[in-house]
Amino acid sequence: MIDLLVKVLLSYLLGSVSGSMVMGRVRHVDIRQSGSGNAGGTNAFRTQGFWFALVVVIVDIGKGALAAGLVPALHHGLQAETGEQAYLSLACGFAAVVGHCYPIWYGFRGGKGAATAVGALLVIAPLAILPMLLTWLLVLTITGWVGLGTMLAAISLVPALLLFGADAQTVVFGVLLALFIVFTHRSNIRNMLNGTKYRFERARVRNWLRRN
């Protein structure tokens, strides 16, 4: 139990290292003061540009993968995954996502967890990434809403896990992760309903057709 708590705490602290805040120190900006006020990849792209956002996403995905893959193996070696280590991967991966959204280093004001969740899933259930990515791209190109695409991609994780024969504890992890991602995007839901949500118009299919 102590081993579990220590590793979950380490994963939370790792998740609290925000890619956008680290990059912001280099550029002397705090993206939480710009755009949507969110410390995630989408706001980084809108306010700071592609290369800034790319580094942010790499950092945020990387810490999720490290939390789910490396932290559970500490003091146990990098041997083949056991049932205990698989359970630790789920707990540590989720803790990293929570850390990203509520980072202790930055006053508990972080991002919305999607990139860090993807990093954890690359270790826990890599096959589920493809249907999630396809869902995200489909929703984005139809609606232009990144947040809606992210929420529906998170929800698609559960049937993807069932399709690929994941065990019960991984499916429960998928359900909790999907619910958490939807929760962190609750402001997106409110803004969409109010008609004030920003659309990424260049990504929409109907605008591709107009340009052609």
Model confidence pLDDT, tens digit, residues 102-111: 999 988 989 9
CA-nearest of 122, 123, 112 to 178 is: 112
Q: Could you give the percent of the chain with pLDDT greater than 90?
A: 55
Model confidence pLDDT, tens digit, residues 1-32: 788 899 999 999 999 999 988 888 888 888 88
CA-nearest of 54, 176, 200 to 117 is: 176
Q: Is the pLDDT of residue 174 over 90?
A: yes
The H-or-E segment that residue 119 falls in is helix 114-124
